[in-house]
């Protein structure tokens, strides 16, 4: 059973603070993703990583950075949190991009609801 | 850039009725179309997916249809039950790449 965990369910930070959101998966998945979820906007991709130390920008990378030092762990960093980064953050992982249906399924973590005051 | 449009944003049906959610994608290179269900307070989970070489796929009460020419795909839920109440997201991706683009979501209410 795939397990994707996130370091916090709820987080409250102040404007200007540096924020770390951590995600760990235990299924040896190659790909990991960070999304933010806002009402009416669906899931928007911030960054993804297809291998250790590899990262690619998604649709809304501004104000965020990521780190993937180990295969199982993918961190999202808000260098200087702002109020417009108040959101639900979802991490996901998938095996590889491949020809089998099962290769592409993304497994999501429980989410971190971040509030920036 | 590429996007996925999803309609309706909210759908209310009576238990036992059918529900249909429609999506349109813009990237003609897309070849994989998953649907995720997110129950209140829970994480999204894959419920069904389809590839571009298939026009329809069915799994018990849910089915997905794909019209690649028109760049439309739809989710059909028959004999809806209260436990079908959730937010449903369509998505498209290119299995040669890594980026999955999600629709904005449809909140489905099934009234008992």
The 10s digit of each residue's pLDDT in A27-78 is: 888 899 999 999 889 999 999 998 898 899 999 999 999 999 999 999 999 9
Between chains, do B103 and A42 touch, taking CB under 8 Å as contact?
Answer: yes
B8 touches chain A (CB under 8 A): no
Q: Which residues contact B64 (CB under 8 A, 6 or more apart)?
A: B33, B35, B48, B49, B50, B56, B57, B73, B74, B75, B76
B1 touches chain A (CB under 8 A): yes
- Buried-exposed string A78-101: b where 16+ CB fall within 10 A, e elsewhere: beebeeebbbebbbbbbbebeeeb
**pLDDT tens-digit series, residues B46-92:** 999 998 888 999 999 999 999 999 999 999 999 999 999 999 999 99
């Amino acid at each position: 059973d795939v397990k994707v965990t996130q370091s916090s369910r709820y987080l409250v930070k102040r404007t200007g603070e540096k924020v770390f959101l951590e995600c760990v998966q235990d299924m040896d998945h190659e790909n990991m993703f960070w999304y933010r979820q806002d009402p009416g906007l669906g899931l928007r991709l911030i960054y993804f990583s297809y291998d250790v130390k590899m990262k690619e920008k998604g649709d809304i990378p501004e104000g965020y950075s990521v780190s993937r030092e180990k295969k199982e762990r993918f961190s999202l960093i808000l260098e200087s949190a702002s109020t417009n980064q108040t959101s639900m953050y979802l991490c996901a992982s998938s095996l590889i991009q491949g020809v089998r249906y099962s290769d592409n399924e993304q497994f999501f973590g429980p989410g971190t609801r971040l509030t920036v005051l | 850039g590429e996007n996925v449009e999803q309609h309706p944003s909210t759908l209310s049906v009576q238990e036992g009725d059918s529900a249909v959610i429609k999506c349109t994608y813009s990237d003609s290179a897309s070849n994989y179309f998953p649907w995720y269900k997110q129950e209140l307070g829970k994480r999204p989970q894959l419920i069904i997916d389809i590839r571009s070489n298939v026009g329809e796929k069915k799994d018990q009460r849910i089915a997905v249809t794909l019209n690649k020419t028109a760049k439309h795909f739809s989710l059909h839920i028959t004999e809806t039950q209260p436990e079908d109440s959730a937010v449903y997201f369509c998505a498209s991706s290119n299995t040669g790449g890594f980026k999955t683009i999600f629709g904005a979501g449809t909140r489905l209410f099934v009234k008992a």
